[in-house]
Amino acid sequence: MFYVIGLGLSDEKDITVKGLEAIKGCERVYLESYTSILMVSKERLEAFYEKEVIIATREMVELEADEILRDSDKIDVAFLVVGDPLGATTHTDLLLRARSLSIPTSVIHNASILTALGSTGLQMYNFGQTLSLVFYTETWRPDSWFERLEENLRIGVHTLVLLDIKVREQSEENMARGRLIYEPPRYMNPHQAFSQILLTESLRHPKDPSSSSSSSNNGDVDVDVEVKESLLPPASTLAISLSRIGTPTQKLISGTLEELAQLSEEEFGEPLHSVVIVGKKLHPLEFEYAGRFAVGGEAGGWWKVGKEVYGVERETF
């Protein structure tokens, strides 16, 4: 049997009893380590499972799938994934590969950030499509996520934004020279995420579009220039940062995009993080619950914008 087993979000004890029992019977145990991380070391997993754990890099999963699957029609092999195992395309691919080799498979589910985001107080029912934000560089700022965010905002639903992690990345120089030297892992902090979101927002919706377009038009009125209203005005859009969800140091911060973008990296602390952009369908109970984490407490922009822009009346608890 080829087991694909979710590990949940925080430490070695977030595995299910069923998952742990499966691992105990396995001859090889792989840990997928490039789309997310647990908050504990490989050694701690090994001690708890009483098994050696083989780190499965992206290259290994993509190029050596048959080695991972080897003999699993006769013996038990486990492929461990942080969160729920069916969140990323690659693992579906591995399951399809197993099935084409007539290897029996079993998926053991677990918690994922997609359900744990309930910790914000926002209802899972009210979320639209999930986005991924990658590290921008000077020359590479992929922003196709922005259209998906606007699609969500237009229908008033919340958006979960997953933040990039870089594990086993090579520098350009090392890659050019073929040296297998890897940079230290990097995990995007909400500080950077909010900066990138505001940057893309400002590029898509320049603050004073009429002046910039008229200067290039030599005074002619260009009727084709349709100035679309921004769906993401920083001072009147609510957002929430989620840090280390499911761990003892879990931290949520809610506020306007503008307020959150002004916080330092340290305010959010250690990885992993994600971010939620709040949609206009915000319910009073969601508003109240997430407001407990508001920047500035009772005087924070959360309450003002929620009432004046989102039109949500506060209940009392």
Are the C-beta atoms of 244 and 163 separated by less than 8 Å?
no
Between 85 and 190, CB nearer to its own copies: 85
DSSP states along 179-228:
----PPPEE--HHHHHHHHHHHHHHHS-SSHHHHHHHHHTT---TT---P
Are the C-beta atoms of 95 and 67 separated by less than 8 Å?
no
Q: Pick the stretch among 130-138, 171-179, 191-199, 201-209 that binds its own copies (CB under 8 A).
A: 130-138
Q: How far is the CB of 227 from its own copies (least distance, A)?
A: 23
Among 246, 300, 301, 306, binds its own copies (CB under 8 A): 246
Between 33 and 159, CB nearer to its own copies: 159
d(CA 133, CA 131): 7
- Contacts of 232 by beta carbon, 8 Å cutoff, 6+ apart: 149, 150, 153, 197, 201, 205, 257, 277
Q: Pick the stretch among 78-86, 167-175, 219-227, 266-274 that binds its own copies (CB under 8 A).
A: 78-86
Alpha helices (H) in 54-187, listed in sequence order: 58-63, 65-69, 89-100, 113-116, 145-154, 172-176
The helix/strand/coil state of 112 is coil
Q: Under rule CB under 8 A, which residues in 249-278 are in contact with its own copies?
A: none
Q: How far is the CB of 45 from its own copies (least distance, A)?
A: 12
Among 33, 35, 110, 196, binds its own copies (CB under 8 A): 110
Q: Pick the stretch among 52-60, 114-122, 200-208, 256-264 that binds its own copies (CB under 8 A).
A: 114-122
Between 85 and 255, CB nearer to its own copies: 85
Q: Per CB under 8 A, does 35 bind its own copies?
A: no
Among 53, 77, 133, 157, binds its own copies (CB under 8 A): 157
- Contacts of 6 by beta carbon, 8 Å cutoff, 6+ apart: 15, 16, 19, 81, 82, 83, 84, 85, 108, 109, 110, 111, 112
Q: Per CB under 8 A, does 111 bind its own copies?
A: yes
Query: Which tokens sit at 135?
Result: 């590290």
Query: What residues line the site for its own copies (CB under 8 A)?
Result: 6, 8-9, 11-18, 20-21, 83-87, 89, 92-93, 95-97, 99-100, 107, 109-112, 114-116, 118-119, 121, 123-132, 151, 155, 157, 246, 285, 288-289, 292, 317
Q: Which residues are known binding-site members? A: 9, 84, 87, 112-113, 163
